[in-house]
Amino acid sequence: MSAPWLSLIGLGEDGADALTPAARALVAQASLIVGGARHLAMIDASAERLQWPSPLTDALPRILAQRGRPTVVLASGDPFFYGVGDLIARHVAHDEIFCIPAPSAFALAAARLKWSQQDCALLSLHGRAFERVTSHLQPRARIIALSWDETTPARLASHLALRGMGASRLYVLERLGGPHERLRRTRADAFALDDIAPLNTIGVEVEADVDAPVIPLTPGLPDEWFEHDGQLTKRDIRAVTLSALSPRKGEVLWDVGAGAGSIAIEWMLSDPANRAIAIERDSARAARIARNALVLGVPDLRVVHGEAPQALGELETPQAIFIGGGADDATLDAAWSALPRFGRIVVNAVTIETQALITQAYRDKGGELLHLQFAHARPIGRYHAFDPAMAVMQWRAVKR
């Protein structure tokens, strides 16, 4: 075991006076102290200083060159809660790191609002796409979010109002833990706060109108929520398809011939840790997928403009693959080869030619072959009758 030479020390707005004796001793002994300008200004020490560059990774060579010499990295609050700790731990052996956290902004905000953290959605909008908040906007939900800067509270208030959630209560908590701490409350649709400090955290109590477009917790979003040109896996088939794909936390999906991106989007909505790659050969559809992903709260969806199977060659290994458009022998073979053992594949086929293809795949590789068809009631004069949609044959299999 190596002795820890790198110390991650959490700092709050109360500054160095709040550091524990152990943290103070580590700062005093350091040969290099790394941190943001605000944190470095709080510390009275004679050690060499390195202010975080942009991007942060540019500081790693200098930090790693210190191996074996006492080094301190200053961070806001808890370094391992949306902090720099994860970045450091990916490049330095765990037994070479010692961490002394301070209360996180989440902990301080929950304490001021008297909310239980375990009942809140804890998000960071700092350095991450703002649209990720959308899927967390559930009726009666409580959210604590780290802001990007002083503009974030107004942007969130506007976002809530536009989504039929203007009655939601926003709490803007500024400079938490310091002598200039401030807490203000407002309705989202009446937001008029000014002079907001760049360092702020937002608390939200969501109140949704009865017709607000709340993203459900089950698959099968309404078709009209997607911008599309007709190339869309329809709601009922989509729900069955997502069930067959069986998303699990942290997995990667390839959505081949993605169309409007509905399968990839709902895969990512199933868990915040899930990732998806939408492969689409049509440039207009590829751009449309990106827009749908933003609107529906999964801005991190990766869209690859290219044609299968050529576009599949350099992609990250998937745990599941869906082929909804453009299935042919070459694409099916490439997809099957890319799957690891116990990876899942689902292919939907409407045309006779593609149905023949997946029937042969079923014979060769096993799995299940299903015939899916839904019918919706339509008016016929004074009466109604069921109007059947086009049938879909679905092949689903696990690679063993």
Query: Strand 169-174 relative to strand 200-205: parallel, antiparallel, unpaired?
Result: antiparallel
The pLDDT tens digits of the residues spanning 36-78 come to: 999 999 998 889 999 999 999 999 999 999 999 999 999 999 9
**Mean pLDDT rounded to a whole number for the chain:** 96
Reduced to 3 states (helix: H, G, I; strand: E, B; else coil), residue 300 is coil
Task: Tell me the mean pLDDT in the region 173-183.
Answer: 95
Residue count of the chain, please give it.
Answer: 400
Q: How confident is the model at residue 2 (pLDDT cuts 50, 70, 90)?
A: low
* Contact criterion met (CB below 8 Å) for 45 and 112: no
**Residue 368 identity (one-letter amino acid):** E
Q: How confident is the model at residue 3 (pLDDT cuts 50, 70, 90)?
A: confident
In 159-214, which ranges are E strands? 169-174, 182-187, 200-205
- What was the pLDDT predicted at 127? 86
The pLDDT tens digits of the residues spanning 8-25 come to: 999 999 999 899 999 999
Determine how many CB atoms are found less than 10 A away from the CB of residue 91.
Answer: 11
List alpha helices for the chain, DSSP H. Answer: 21-29, 37-42, 60-64, 85-89, 105-113, 152-162, 235-245, 262-269, 283-295, 329-338, 352-365
Residues 6+ apart with CB under 8 A from 340: 317, 319, 399
- What was the pLDDT predicted at 325? 76
Residue 365 clears pLDDT 60, i.e. is over it: yes
Residue 1 clears pLDDT 70, i.e. is over it: no
What phi and psi, each to the nearest 5 degrees, are found at residue 177? 85, -5
Reduced to 3 states (helix: H, G, I; strand: E, B; else coil), residue 364 is helix
- What was the pLDDT predicted at 120? 98
